[in-house]
Amino acid sequence: RFSFASASSKLPAEILAAISADVIAWQASGMSALELPFTGKDFADILAQAEHELRAVLELPECYRILFLQGGASTQFTTLPMNLAGEARPCDYVLSGHWSRRAIEAASGWCDVRVIASGSNGSLPEPASWRRSSDAAYCHYTSNETAEGLQYHEYPEASDVPLIADMTADFLTRPIPIERFGLVYASAQKNLGAAGLTIVIVHEDLLGQAKHATPASLDYARQAAAGSKVNTPPTFAILVALRMLTWLRAQGGLDAAAARNIAKSAKLYAVIDADNFYRCLAAPRYRSSVSVCFRLPQPELDLLFLQEAQENGLCHLQGHPAVGGIRASLYNGVTDEAVTALADFMSDFKRRRG
C-alpha cells in the first residue's frame, strides 16, 4: 500500500527497519531508544549527530543555530513575534494561502501585522511585488502552501529586514540559500520523519530579543543556550530525524532530492494536463513539486476516486478540508513506484469515468 498523506512522512523501508531495531535496543545502551532520558549521554550523542547531519545536508554556516523543539509549526506562528517583534515593531507577512493565513491570524495577537502582498486564483504574489517595509522586525512567507498545492520555486532576495519562511512542507526537498534567511522553521512530520519535532534554524544575530513574558521553552535564545534542552525535547522524533537525514545524504542530498521531487510531480501533472478531465487550480509556474492538488470534473466523483484509489492501495489522497478535492503529497520518502502506481490509476479512472 502507498501513502500520499500530507500530515505524515512516508518512511523508507530501511529506515522503518532501523527504527524498529532502535525501539528494541539503542546500540550498546541495552535500553529501548524510547527509554533514553534526554539528560543522558546516549541522547546527547543522538542530538549531536542529528545536528551534524542537518548542518552537513544544508551546508549551514556556523552563525546559524538549530533548535530542536516541540509544538509544531503552528506554535512557531506565535513564538516568532514573541521572540522577534520586540515590544512594538510591525512585522511584514505575505498572504498566499491557508497556512500563511493561519500564521497571520496567530501573529496578530502578538505584533502589528502588515500584509504586504496577497495571492489569488491559484497564483502566488511574486517577491518583486511584495511591499516590504524598511522598519519591520521581519518579513514572513510560506514557501509551500500545502493546502492549495502552491510553491515558490524561486527564493526571495535578502534585505536588511530578516526574511523568515515557514518551510514545513518543502524543507529538505530542495537546496536552501540559507544565507538569505534570518530564520526558517518546519515541522518534522513531512520530510524529517515523526510528528512532534519542530526545527528552527535561526541566525545568531536574532537571538536575545524575546518579549519580557516569553516562556523559557519558547525563547529562542534560552533554547539555543541550553542546546534545545530547556524542557524535554522530542527525543524519539529526533532519533527518527537522524535516521532520515543520514538516508537523505546517502541518497545524494538536496540537489538529488529536488530532481527526484520534480520528476515525481511531473508524472502526475502530465496526467492532469493530458486533457480536461482533471483540473489543477494552481497556475503552472507555482505548481508544487511536493503537494500535487487537483479536482475531478464533478465534486461527486471525488469520493468515488478516493474510494477506488484506496481499494487499489493508494491511500490518504483527500485534499485539505479547507480546500477539498484531491491532494497527493510527494515528500522525500514517497517512491517512484508509488507515484507511477498513482499516475496509472488516474489514467485508468479517467478512461472508465471520463
Catalytic (active-site) positions: 99, 166, 190
Complex with ligand PLP: residue 200 or 346, whichever CB lies closer: 200
The three cell numbers locating residue 51: 545536528
What is the number of the residue whose Cβ is closest to ligand PLP? 72
Minimum distance, C-beta of residue 79 to ligand PLP, in the bound complex (Å): 11
Annotated binding residue 231? yes
Binding residues for ligand PLP, total number by CB under 6 A: 13
Binding mask 12-41 for ligand PLP (x = CB under 6 A): ------------------------------
Helices (H), 85-199: 98-108
H or E, element range at 2: strand 2-3
Is 155 one of the binding residues for ligand PLP (CB under 6 A)?
no
Residue type, 353: R
Minimum distance, C-beta of residue 6 to ligand PLP, in the bound complex (Å): 6
Annotated binding residue 189? yes
Is 187 one of the binding residues for ligand PLP (CB under 6 A)?
yes
Determine which residue in the list 95, 113, 169, 244 makes contact with ligand PLP, applying CB under 6 A.
169
Annotated binding residue 168? no
Annotated binding residue 74? yes
As a whole number of angstroms, the distance between CA 235 and CA 233 comes to 6
Please choose, from the candidates 264, 349, 311, the residue with its C-alpha nearest in 3D space to the C-alpha of residue 1.
Answer: 311
Is 168 one of the binding residues for ligand PLP (CB under 6 A)?
yes
Number of Cβ atoms within 10 Å of the Cβ of 17: 11
Contact set for ligand PLP, span 71-100 (CB under 6 A): 72-74, 99
Complex with ligand PLP: residue 42 or 148, whichever CB lies closer: 148
Number of Cβ atoms within 10 Å of the Cβ of 158: 14
208: left (phi > 0), else alpha (psi -120 to 50), else beta? left
Minimum distance, C-beta of residue 41 to ligand PLP, in the bound complex (Å): 30
Minimum distance, C-beta of residue 142 to ligand PLP, in the bound complex (Å): 5
Annotated binding residue 6? yes
Complex with ligand PLP: residue 115 or 304, whichever CB lies closer: 115
- Give 123's DSSP letter: -
Instruction: Specify burial of residue 249 (Cβ count, 10 A radius: 0-12, 13-18, 19+).
Output: middle
Question: Which range in 37-45, 68-76, 175-183, 224-232 contacts ligand PLP by CB under 6 A?
Answer: 68-76
Contact set for ligand PLP, span 125-154 (CB under 6 A): 142, 144, 146
Annotated binding residue 5? no
Instruction: Specify burial of residue 157 (Cβ count, 10 A radius: 0-12, 13-18, 19+).
Output: exposed
Q: In 108-245, which ranges are E strands?
A: 112-118, 139-142, 144-145, 150-151, 163-166, 181-187, 198-203
Task: Name every residue whose Cβ is closer than 8 Å to that of residue 139 and which is 6 or more positions away in sequence.
Answer: 91, 92, 93, 94, 116, 130, 132, 156, 159, 161, 162, 163, 164
Q: In 41-168, which ranges are E strands?
A: 64-69, 90-95, 112-118, 139-142, 144-145, 150-151, 163-166
Minimum distance, C-beta of residue 39 to ligand PLP, in the bound complex (Å): 26
Pick out the residues of the known binding site for pyridoxal 5'-phosphate: 73-74, 99, 146, 166, 189, 231-232
Residue ranges at the known binding site for L-glutamate: 6
Annotated binding-site ranges: 6, 73-74, 99, 146, 166, 189, 231-232
Binding region for ligand PLP (CB under 6 A) = 6-7, 72-74, 99, 142, 144, 146, 166, 168-169, 187
